[in-house]
Amino acid sequence: MIPTSPRPFVFVLMPFDKTFADTYQLGIKAACEAAGAYCERVDEQVFTGNILARIINQIAKADIVVADMSDREPNVFYETGYAHALGKTVLLLTRRSEDIPFDLRQYPHIVYADSLVYLRDELQRKIRFFLDNPKASPVGGAWSLQVFQAGRPLQKGDRLRGRVTHSGFLSVVIEVHNPTPRPFHGQNTVVALMYEGPLMREVHSKDRSVELPDARFVTTLPHLPSLQPDEWAAYRFDLKTVRGRFEVGESFPVTLRFYTAMGPIDLSLTLEAESRLRPDDDSEDA
């Protein structure tokens, strides 16, 4: 069966000098093709009008932006900054580490020197990862954290699993990961769970539950801590029901929300009640 959905689009920012022809064709383009995406530079496209307007338009449309910092090309720096401002997933390359400008040294680069094979293989791996995990932006943008449950990245529409305890509570644990090379300052971010009845939060002194005008409820936990590069943190919601206890197999629509300085980040999920992993696994005693 011939696939009908369009392939992901990678837009490439790099010097147009002919010395970069092999880098583009044998390294970048080959990596995109191997990862299941297609890529273009603006000089390959046929269009009318202003070239900068075209580049801005293509950055906005791209699923991933690849930017080569080699030779410190000012146009590439400008366009890369615009892509970052849009919150795009931007993969950075350079022939020489000394070409990385100061403001971008906090972000990982593929330093490929003269090895196009290394560039192709590393770029293919990164493109494939970010196509499979679209929430995992390597450079931040509006949101730079990854959200997991039991080692599984959570995406929109996924199941969020909760364990039913002896007392009939539903214990829900998520993990938050900072994949970036810079610290994440959590004092401006709050994690919350939004839901409709019959779910209720077992109220603790630091938790806040509010009924919203649309008849939903939102429960917020304390602010996220600061997370160092590659650091993880776990968060637990202990839910109860107005009926007294949860039953295994029940499911409810919920939204995992992160209140950030850039606005709320939502994940619409289905919360599913599962049996406990071990007879002594009781979240009230944890």
280 shares its domain with 236? yes
169 shares its domain with 39? no
What does the pLDDT read at residue 280?
43
53 shares its domain with 150? no
In a domain, 173, yes or no: yes
Q: Using the 3D structure, point to which of 132, 163, 181 is the last residue of a domain.
A: 132
Q: Using the 3D structure, point to which of 99, 132, 165 is the last residue of a domain.
A: 132
Residue 131 has pLDDT above 90, yes or no: no
- Contact between 139 and 84 under an 8 Å Cβ cutoff? The reply is yes
64 shares its domain with 150? no
In a domain, 1, yes or no: no
189 shares its domain with 107? no
169 shares its domain with 279? yes
Residue range 249-267, pLDDT digits in tens: 888 899 988 887 556 778 8
In a domain, 138, yes or no: no
162 shares its domain with 113? no
Model confidence pTM above 0.75: no
Range of the domain at 276: 146-285
CA 120, CA 27: separation in Å to the nearest integer?
4
In a domain, 141, yes or no: no
Domain count, the chain: 2
Catalogue the E-assigned strands of 38-165.
38-40, 64-68, 90-94, 109-111, 146-149, 152-153, 159-164
What's the mean pLDDT in 208-232? 77
Which residue did the predictor score with more confidence, 106 or 223? 223
CA 64, CA 83: separation in Å to the nearest integer?
9
Q: Using the 3D structure, point to which of 132, 161, 185 is the last residue of a domain.
A: 132
